[in-house]
Structure 1
């Protein structure tokens, strides 16, 4: 442990700052007028966290502690400090210009975190543990997709350079047909053919295993997300992945987001001026959580393709002369507003458990029901199972079933 100490009164109000790492945390203490009091390094263990809090309390009454990485390296200290009744706020790392100006070291970053807590620049509550499981499942599912994509790309490039007999046989196959055929291979031929076919077989089996793994993770993730926030999951166009990303971005605790405008800014969906000369326009902010921004984009695409209200809105905006990019910008901002409501309030999800038994009691097939409403049978099936929410269709469908 290293420290630089300036004595302070035990009754003095102080602020703490923490620069977190995998094995250590560096803790700094400043007075309520910004004066440096002390800094020290502690281990990232239960004993180290207890010593760090004792170190902070020894210099006065701790008003708040600014912590870098409250949901990563600083998660352990954040959890311990909040359990001890200390107020923890999340601190973003200093921008590059400031780091170039004052340099970088653990004490410098810790004091910067403390000053951020003192000034109010850092005021966000840290993400709580209620979405820790969702975050873990989401990360695992995304890594499975990335590994699967890498294996598919390797198969494609191997076939580009494979011997002509292999390329002619398997190069024209696409998607699951190619993967299934390669996974069933029995490598034969000369040494080159055997080596290439063995590599292709191994990669194809890897793709199948990762596909099954991703499907299982997505199923579990869907259950967790639905249990945590059924209103969010039931919103039109919101799937397990997008719902999980929005919950991870929000952090599970609504008090992190004061207004829907702040949530839109957090997701990079807040309009900012982009005017110059005779051009008067806005664009979306390029800051914020880009993964959350991508989730809003995917929701917008789903609604543009299959939601009647959204399609009508897009048609009206296109007729008014707006480009597709501008329309998507407007949709993302509107979707961010809706998602904020789902994340911060309890949204009632209309029951649909009666739909399938009611249809079956009337001896009506999925095909007949789908034909009545001009949709695919899969649409009725997903509606009945609660996979896709469409309140208007659900009400109309129930009324039709009761009248049948």
Structure 2
């Protein structure tokens, strides 16, 4: 039988798999105490926890794959109040030197828990962001499948019989999908198989489009409810907000600083100086999906936001290239997004502006003429589709001064 060690500080590591987890325990000196394998069931999680606690006071647990196979165990241990850290899989060179087995990986994870105090904190995966992640992942796969269906459809149409190819030669993509999805095969009995195949691809495309639209309708209110300040930020829509929320996780307090968040998103500048050249380049690491979200926000702001347009003009005058300007913009946006993700930011109320204006009998044309802006901008501000705090505040003050005194 295993001798029970006197209570001391211990560290644990877990190598996770789909059906089993292998746990290992070491003391504060790195001495191997014990290891064992457990099933990935609630009873298995409880048995694994009890096995670790036999050997002393648990300080930290290092778990591989807290976002996949280890998610359930991580939630179980977190609920019990234990500190969890994410263990990054060792590089291939170390694996070749030390060998690989479940006990070896588990002890390596325990050693990481002992020596590495700045490992990333796992996402909790127990709130609205986890629901957003499921919807967003499904949406992404639907978009990929729809794109694949459209590419395959056009490829097959290139070698289709002349009558079919000529009929759909100069139509738009939308007309092509609609026309083939509702295509009547009876006039083409000699090409029945080809027509059926093309029609099936078009119908698949149409079905996936409807699925994507339905998922977007679920994402929009959920992202707005989860973080209204992020959704209200300029250039941030439901899709970009969903990606940024997923990157941060439900427990956004795990993000140590805005610089760490920028590095996580691959938006931190990387020195690229040499000799007389003094410059920075884009960071090609980090979460590329989050980086893509920041890139889309930057492009939207470059097109529509006066403040960003002025900033771009200033940087161009300084001799910055477009890539360098976008890199600077993404870094600034990452700083803003970090604040919106980690702090409670009040969103100015705008839903009462339209009823207030209508009660005073003032038209949109009058408001737009007074502020010298387009009517659509005032309408979008009233509906919360565009955020311009300065204009909204000035609009409110103007309405208040226009109201008859009681």
Please give the range of the TM-score, normalised by the shorter of the 2 chains.
over 0.9
Residues 16-57 of structure 1: per-residue CA shift (max 9 Å, x gap): 111111111111111111122221111100011011111101
Residue 22 of structure 2 aligns to a residue in which SS? strand
Counterpart of 1:339 in structure 2 is: 337
Counterpart of 1:296 in structure 2 is: 294
TM-score by length of 2: 0.92
Distance apart, 1:400 and its partner CA? 4.9
Counterpart of 2:215 in structure 1 is: 217
Query: Equivalent of 1:64, from 48, 60, 75?
Result: 60
Counterpart of 1:123 in structure 2 is: 119
Q: 1:383 to 1:201 in 2, by over 3 A?
A: farther
Counterpart of 2:183 in structure 1 is: 185
Query: Equivalent of 2:276, from 275, 278, 281?
Result: 278
Matches for 1:226-241 after TM superposition, within 5 Å = 226-241=224-239
Contact 1:8 1:37 in 2 (8 A): no
1:146 aligns with 2:148: no
Matches for 1:90-169 after TM superposition, within 5 Å = 90-128=86-124, 129-130=126-127, 131-169=129-167
Counterpart of 1:54 in structure 2 is: 50
Q: Which moved more, 1:133-142 or 1:196-205?
A: 196-205
Alpha-carbon distance in structure 2 between the residues aligned to 1:108 and 1:242:
40
Residues 70-122 of structure 1: per-residue CA shift (max 9 Å, x gap): 12211110111112222211222222332233233222221221111111255
Contact 1:125 1:255 in 2 (8 A): no
1:89 aligns with 2:85: yes
Counterpart of 2:16 in structure 1 is: 20
Q: What is the count of residue pairs matched by the alignment?
A: 400
Alpha-carbon distance in structure 2 between the residues aligned to 1:151 and 1:220:
24
Distance apart, 1:307 and its partner CA? 0.9
Distance apart, 1:125 and its partner CA? 2.4
Alpha-carbon distance in structure 2 between the residues aligned to 1:251 and 1:283:
28
RMSD (Å) for aligned C-alpha atoms:
2.2
Q: 1:158 to 1:397 in 2, by over 3 A?
A: farther
Q: Unpaired runs of 5+ in structure 1?
A: none
Matches for 1:202-213 after TM superposition, within 5 Å = 202-213=200-211
Residue 63 of structure 2 aligns to a residue in which SS? strand
Counterpart of 1:388 in structure 2 is: 386
Counterpart of 2:350 in structure 1 is: 352
Q: Unpaired runs of 5+ in structure 2?
A: none
Contact 1:270 1:284 in 2 (8 A): yes
Alpha-carbon distance in structure 2 between the residues aligned to 1:173 and 1:151:
17
Distance apart, 1:15 and its partner CA? 0.4
Contact 1:6 1:36 in 2 (8 A): no
Counterpart of 1:10 in structure 2 is: 6
Residues 211-262 of structure 1: per-residue CA shift (max 9 Å, x gap): 1211121121111111111111111111111111111111121321111111
Q: 1:190 to 1:205 in 2, by over 3 A?
A: closer
TM-score by length of 1: 0.92
Distance apart, 1:385 and its partner CA? 2.2
Counterpart of 1:268 in structure 2 is: 266
Q: Which moved more, 1:296-305 or 1:356-365?
A: 356-365
